[in-house]
Amino acid sequence: MNNLIKVLINLSIATVIMYFIIRIVSKGFDKLTDRVAVMDKKTKRKTLYIIIAILLILPFIMSSYPYVLRTSIVALLYVVLALSLNFVLGFAGQLSMGHSAFYAIGAYVTALLMVNFNVSFWIAFLISAIVAGFFGFLLGVPTLRLKGDYLAITTIGFGEILRLILVNWTDVTRGPAGIPGIPSPKIFGFVINNNIGYYYIILLLAFLTVFISSRLLHSRLGQGFIAVRDDEIAAEAMGINSTYLKIMAFVLGAAIAGMAGSFFATFVHYVNPDNFTYMESVTILCMVVLGGLGSIPGVILGAIVLTVLPEALRGIASYRYAIYGLLLILMMINRPGGMIDMDRLKGGKKNESSGSKRNNKNLRGAHSSK
């Protein structure tokens, strides 16, 4: 009983402290977002070049800290996974909670091809993306008529079915024993067997994913995604093919998740069904929601925070996951739009305020009409 009281007191103190920290950090996010929103294109381009330069030289700075470097690789891996889910959830508005299934498909396809058939990593990498994208298409077609909770339950079922196949199809996947001995990738005959090499591979994949996300978001196709997400009936009335866009979102998100799984297989040299559980899908979902739905910088930040935070809390192992959960709850209460809201980033505080007034006016009109 005394231990329980002690735990409750400590968690209460931690909650109060985190609440005020989140309030302060939230104001910082808003000021930073508003400042970025009013930047001209030249300044934004310079800032982007500086960030890229820092990321390129980062592994040499951290070479004497292998734990930090490895954590950075894992963070970039989750950035790719979170951005891949953002295509489905953030852009198209489809609540998928079985995203780790595509991650698993990419990992197992690469493992089987490289271990059993001595296929090159880069060929296995492309095949993994194609196979994962194909399964994304298979999942996307029958779920077109499903929305919200029904879609979420269907994707959970798909993820669990795949995991059980990996566990029970022992002739191919070796079941719970997993597939060990996955070779390291090679570039021009050089074997990549250190963290610096893996860092640059996943950094390149992260750059590719960000580029695709950005180009898609600022294209007519991306605006179609947003229209379907906000109001599917209105989008179809305007001539937008919501069926095509939904399937495309699933295929694109699944293919990139398959690429991430392919990298993961060679990075750890071992795959096991326990790496791709339902909780992995929930973690990726939390990264997208916490960062901000549809917000590319927000999703990146959410993935980094939720990767680094558990590592930073290892020193207080007794309260680690309790504090982790409390932080997520407090963030959602204080910032339901995520760390970096995409609407605010596009138009700054002024546009966000006018948008809020316009939404409130529409709501008042809807209630008055009733």
pLDDT per position as a tens digit, 189-212: 889 989 999 999 999 999 999 999
Torsion 78-83-86-92 (CA) sign: negative
Say what the pLDDT of residue 140 is.
87
Say what the pLDDT of residue 193 is.
86
pLDDT per position as a tens digit, 223-244: 898 888 888 888 888 888 888 8
Return the DSSP state at 139. H
pLDDT per position as a tens digit, 78-127: 999 999 999 999 998 898 999 999 999 999 999 999 999 999 999 999 99
Which residues are CB-neighbours of 146 under 8 A, at least 6 positions away? 154
- Kindly indicate the confidence band of residue 349, based on its pLDDT and cuts at 50, 70 and 90: low
CA-only gyration radius of the chain, Å? 22
- Kindly indicate the confidence band of residue 261, based on its pLDDT and cuts at 50, 70 and 90: very high
| CA proximity to 342, closest of 304, 286, 302 | 302
Structure tokens at 119: 């296929």
Mean pLDDT of 300-310: 89
- On whether the CB atoms of residues 288 and 335 are closer than 8 A, the answer is no
- On whether the CB atoms of residues 163 and 273 are closer than 8 A, the answer is yes
SS3 181: coil
Domain ranges, ordered by start, for the chain: 1-37+295-356, 76-291
Q: Say yes or no to pLDDT of 358 above 80.
A: no
